[in-house]
Structure 1
Amino acid sequence: MSRKIQNSLIAFIMATSVSALFVQSNIEFMKTEIFHIPVLFIVILGVSLFIAEDVRDSFKKVLWFDKREDKRPIWQVGIGSIFFFTQIGFVEVFARHLMHFNLGGMPLYCVFAFMNAFLLTVIYEEIFYEEEKTNVQIVKFKNRMK
């Protein structure tokens, strides 16, 4: 379940990124919408659903996720960034009217996306993260207690 959620959010991020690039272009057929949803977004979302698993695995290889002893910190950063960029992409494609509000020079949608990503990461971790108890972790805990 966790993997499907991550892959669908990654596909959403890729689709919103491409759609946000073409929203401001001069090419009219790229701006075509059905019920306020860009057609380009629908097409790219369909394509990116097929490659989302490969993208996720590539990031895991680049960040040496499988070789790390303690996978939790990099897992949290990965999930947090997925939630952050999903919210940013949503605002850039579907709620562009929210982009002009600022908080001391910082776009307000970025501030809210960061706060929400932090909270969603904590909630997601409580639901899905399974920490494997190994002898190394038990020894580390015993050494800390001394």
Structure 2
Amino acid sequence: MKLIISTWLQNLGIACSISSFFTLFFRLTEFEWVTKSIYHIPVFFVVVFLLGLVLAEDVRKVFKKLFWYEKRKDQRPIWQVGIGFIFFLAQIGMVMVFSTELTQPELGGMPLFLVFAFMNAFIMTVIYEEIFYREDKTNELNSH
């Protein structure tokens, strides 16, 4: 059950990243009319989010093959980086699409929302690991 919820959350993060970055891309081009909003939610975002949910599982599998996840002796570090990256991209995408005014404040020349997204992604990865990776750690400890 934990594996299904973990996979579902990862797919949601990937779909959110895909849809927000496509929405942002179209918003910055002459096709801005595609990203018209209803109640401050871009219709294009919703459509691409639903398509992203369909594609997210395949995207996850491609990245697992690309980084030889299954062949690694210790899969935990690459798992942590992948989960953290999903959280980081999803947060950045959401800010860029729904709260562009938050992209203005800077901290020493770096946009503040990137700093917060990185810190949040780190904390969320630690919490996520405690919830979903704990079972693997206990099985590993029992096998020694």
Residue deviations 1:110-136 (CA, integer Å, cap 9, x gap): 00000000000000000001324289x
Query: How far, CA to CA, are the matches of 1:100 and 1:107 in structure 2?
Result: 7
Work out whether 1:26 is the aligned partner of 2:33: no
Work out whether 1:133 is the aligned partner of 2:137: no
Q: What letter is aligned with 2:33? A: F
Query: How far, CA to CA, are the matches of 1:88 and 1:78 in structure 2?
Result: 15
Q: Could you say which residue in structure 2 is the equivalent of 1:55? A: 59
* Larger gyration radius, structure 1 or structure 2: 1
**RMSD (Å) for aligned C-alpha atoms:** 1.5
**Number of residue pairs the alignment of both structures matches:** 137
Contact 2:105 2:111 in 1 (8 A): yes
Task: Normalising by structure 2, report the TM-score.
Answer: 0.90
Query: How far, CA to CA, are the matches of 2:8 and 2:41 in structure 1?
Result: 23
Q: 2:48 aligns with which of 36, 44, 48?
A: 44
Q: Percent identity?
A: 52
Task: Normalising by structure 1, report the TM-score.
Answer: 0.89
Contact 2:11 2:56 in 1 (8 A): yes
Q: Could you say which residue in structure 2 is the equivalent of 1:117? A: 121
Secondary structure, aligned partner of 1:67:
coil
Secondary structure, aligned partner of 1:90:
helix
Equivalences for residues 86-101 of structure 1 within 5 A:
86-101=90-105
Q: What letter is aligned with 2:112? A: L
Q: 2:112 aligns with which of 99, 108, 119?
A: 108
Structure 2 spans left out of the alignment, 5+ residues: none
Q: What letter is aligned with 1:18? A: F
Q: Which 4+ stretches in 1 moved above 3 angstroms?
A: none
Structure 1 spans left out of the alignment, 5+ residues: 139-146
